[in-house]
Amino acid sequence: MSLNSQDVSRIARLARVELSAAENAATCDQLNAILGFIAQLQAVDTDGIEPMAHAVDVVQRLRPDVVSETDRRDAFQAVAPDVEAGLYLVPRVIE
Positions touching another protein (CB under 8 A) are 3, 7-8, 11-19, 27, 30-31, 33-35, 37-42, 44, 46, 49-56, 58, 60-61, 63, 72, 75-76, 78-82, 88, 90-93
CB of 91 to another protein, least distance (A): 5
Under 8 Å between Cβ of 2 and 30: no
CB of 8 to another protein, least distance (A): 7
Cα gap 48→51, rounded to integer Å: 9
Backbone angles phi, psi at 54, to 5 degrees: -135, 155
CB of 10 to another protein, least distance (A): 8
